[in-house]
Amino acid sequence: MSYIATWADQKLNGNEIAKLKEDGLDVFKDLPELVKKPFSEIDPSYFMYFKYAGLTVQKPQTDGYFMMRIKIPGGRVTVKQADHIAWIGEKYGHGIIDLTTRQAVQYHWIPFAELVDIFAGITNVGLTTVGAEGDITRNIVDNTLSGIDPDELFDTRQTVMDVYHRFQGNYDYSNLPRKFKISISSNVYNSADAQINDVAFTPATKRIGRHTVKGFNVFVGGGLGMKPYLAQQLNIFVTPDRVADVAEVICQVYRDYGYRRSRSKARLKFLVADWGAEQFEDKVRESLPDLQTKGRSKVKGWNSGNALGVHRQKQDGYYYVGVSVPSGRITADDFRALTDVARNYGRDEIRFDHCQNMIIPWIPEDKLTEVEALPIFERFSIHPHLLADYGNTCTGAEYCNLANAHTKTVFKPLIENLDKRFAFDTPINVTMTGCGSNCAHRSIADIGIEGVHARTPDRQHVEGYKLSVGGSLLGEGHFNEPLKGVFSKEQLADAVASILTDYQDNHVGTETFYDYYNRQGTDHFQETLNQFIETLPEVLK
């Protein structure tokens, strides 16, 4: 460790006091001895350290099972690694693999006693869980199609790995105030959701001397959670070879000046909001005074972060196949069947996007018809057209300790119900989270659904759901606006349908839901929902 913990004499929250005594990464030194004990002997105060190994103690927190996340920079795995991902799901995860919105995978039911062996197997195939959770640099997200993308300014894969290696397992950056999320993408449709990351590198060009140089503009201070913020732009341009330096200095500023008194105020977004972009940039430039001023942005839209469907790669004669995985949940058997497609037709590679889906690249043009006819694609669409293809869900009350309501088990019948009633020409993103923490990116959905604690008229506690409309990362971005009204899971489909019916009946031509929202405004949607609420025999509070 090459820094002084300047915050050590400040008023700190309990996690911070513990982290000064033992670093989060030390969990891997502790584990071989820990797993010899019964789980019941592990003090709950130690649970935060499991996070640094990509583990969250699963509820009930007495039983010794974990949610485990594998960190996959840029969401790219080899076929051998995909085989191992399937194997873990089959052997430990009750046959289920969940895909995340940060290009990673996660499991439930991982047993405490077998953690050391499980980690050895993960390391053996070149994967890791180190820093998949905890107050540390999380999975770095990239353009899902980097290197094969007709819409990228340049290939960002090496840049992502340079940044990954700068931070991974590095004790200089393993005691941050909270998590630190990095997005790197040169896709001109903002495929890596720049504005909702702590630091984002977006495609730009800059005239330097007599040359036009390709690189990145830099944004800081974005994030979702209970209080979402859109990232602010710094007046900085950086070439790909210096992205790791800039990311490192931004992380140093966060480590040394980020708030450590209250965890709810500890994300970088609060520091940037207080300082402003200018002051933050001045602090970065104290360490990197030679950075160029911002370049010409090459971002011209937002593709919602998904790469669904069958599309040409930038390499002649090759296609990638974006496979819809509804709710991001897939069985190990189905995961293996998709891996087999990559094994038999692709080039030893599978990718994960930002919307809980899978991509199989490098399908030769002369094999495309054969691939499209494979039985696995009857159940996992490669020709997306349903609401189910574009929705996301978080873990919810099934396993998450923080959830107010169930998600995946509610979302599946909900979206199937809606898909029977509606068919739209433009994609509409309906996303559900089990609380306000926003893990499945509910705030940037066209229609967001958030699980809440609710009461019936006779004051019985039930799981309820609230709606928001009008989220997007187009342009500077806009978080969806909450609507009044709480719905039971039985009422939810009709509540969402009232909004979709309004859009279906009144949108013009190819007007997207977001454009329609901007034309009509939040009040219009509230009035629509109010008309539905008036028909309900029982209204939740």
Q: What is the nearest approach in angstroms of ligand SF4 to the Cβ of residue 83?
A: 27
Residue 194 contacts residue 474 (beta carbons within 8 Å): no
Site for ligand SF4 in 264-283 (CB under 6 A): none
Residue from 434, 470, 471, 477 touching ligand SF4 (CB under 6 A): that is 434
* Angle between helix 332-345 and 79-91 (nearest 10): 170
Phi, psi of 188 (to 5 degrees): -80, -5
- Residue 435 near ligand SF4 by CB under 6 A: yes
Contact 388, 414 (CB under 8 A): no
Q: Which helix H or strand E contains 284, and what residues bound it?
A: helix 277-287
Among candidate residues 419, 334, 343, 340, the one with its CA nearest the CA of residue 380: 334
265 DSSP assignment? G
Question: From the CB of residue 475, how many other CB atoms can be counted at a distance below 10 Å?
Answer: 11
Q: Tell me the closest approach of the beta carbon of residue 429 to ligand SF4, in angstroms.
A: 16
- Residue 20 touching ligand SF4 (CB under 6 A): no
Among 284, 358, 400, 533, binds ligand SF4 (CB under 6 A): 400
Q: Which is nearer to ligand SF4, 213 or 402 (CB)?
A: 402
Query: Comparing C-alpha atoms, which of 179, 167, 132 is closest to residue 28?
Result: 132
Whether a cis peptide bond, with omega within 30° of 0, leads into 60 is yes
Nearer to ligand SF4, 106 or 144 (CB): 106
Q: How many of the other CB atoms lie within 10 Å of CB of 96?
A: 17
Minimal distance, residue 352 CB to ligand SF4, in Å: 17
CB of 535 to ligand SF4, least distance (A): 29
Residue 437 in the binding site for ligand SF4 (CB under 6 A): yes
Q: Which is nearer to ligand SF4, 250 or 410 (CB)?
A: 410
Site size toward ligand SF4, by CB under 6 A: 12
DSSP calls for 347-382: SS-EEE-TTS-EEEEEEEGGGHHHHHT-THHHHS-S
Provide, rounded to whole angstroms, the least separation between the CB of residue 513 and ligand SF4.
22
At closest approach, how far in Å is the CB of 175 from ligand SF4?
23
Q: Does 403 bind ligand SF4 (CB under 6 A)?
A: yes
- Here the tokens at position 149 are 């993308």
With contacts defined by CB under 6 A, name the span among 11-19, 99-107, 251-259, 398-406 that binds ligand SF4.
398-406
402 binds ligand SF4 (CB under 6 A): yes
Both structure tokens of 112? 């405490």
Residues 6 or more apart whose CB falls under 8 angstroms from that of 122 comprise 70, 84, 88, 128, 129
| Rounded least distance, CB 450 to ligand SF4, Å | 8
- Cα–Cα distances (Å) from 26 to 131, 170, 284, 359, in that order, read 12, 11, 29, 35
The answer to whether residue 395 forms part of the interface with ligand SF4 (CB under 6 A) is yes
Work out whether 54 is an interface residue with ligand SF4 (CB under 6 A): no
Q: Binding residue for ligand SF4 (CB under 6 A) from 394, 415, 418, 469?
A: 394
Q: Considering only 45-53, 113-121, 174-182, 396-404, which stretch makes contact with ligand SF4 by CB under 6 A?
A: 396-404
Region from 46-54, 394-402, 475-483, 495-503 binding ligand SF4, contact rule CB under 6 A: 394-402
Choices 1-9, 89-97, 433-441, 455-463; region in contact with ligand SF4 by CB under 6 A: 433-441
Contact between 433 and ligand SF4 per CB under 6 A: yes
Q: Is 358 in the site for ligand SF4 (CB under 6 A)?
A: no
Residue (of 298, 271, 290, 357) closest to 99 by Cα position: 357
Counting contacts by CB under 6 A, is residue 396 touching ligand SF4?
yes
| 304-to-233, 411, 514, 519 alpha-carbon distances in Å | 20, 19, 12, 20
- Minimum CB separation from ligand SF4 for residue 484, in Å? 21
Residue (189 or 487) nearer to ligand SF4, CB = 487
Residues that bind ligand SF4 (CB under 6 A): 394-396, 400, 402-403, 433-435, 437-439
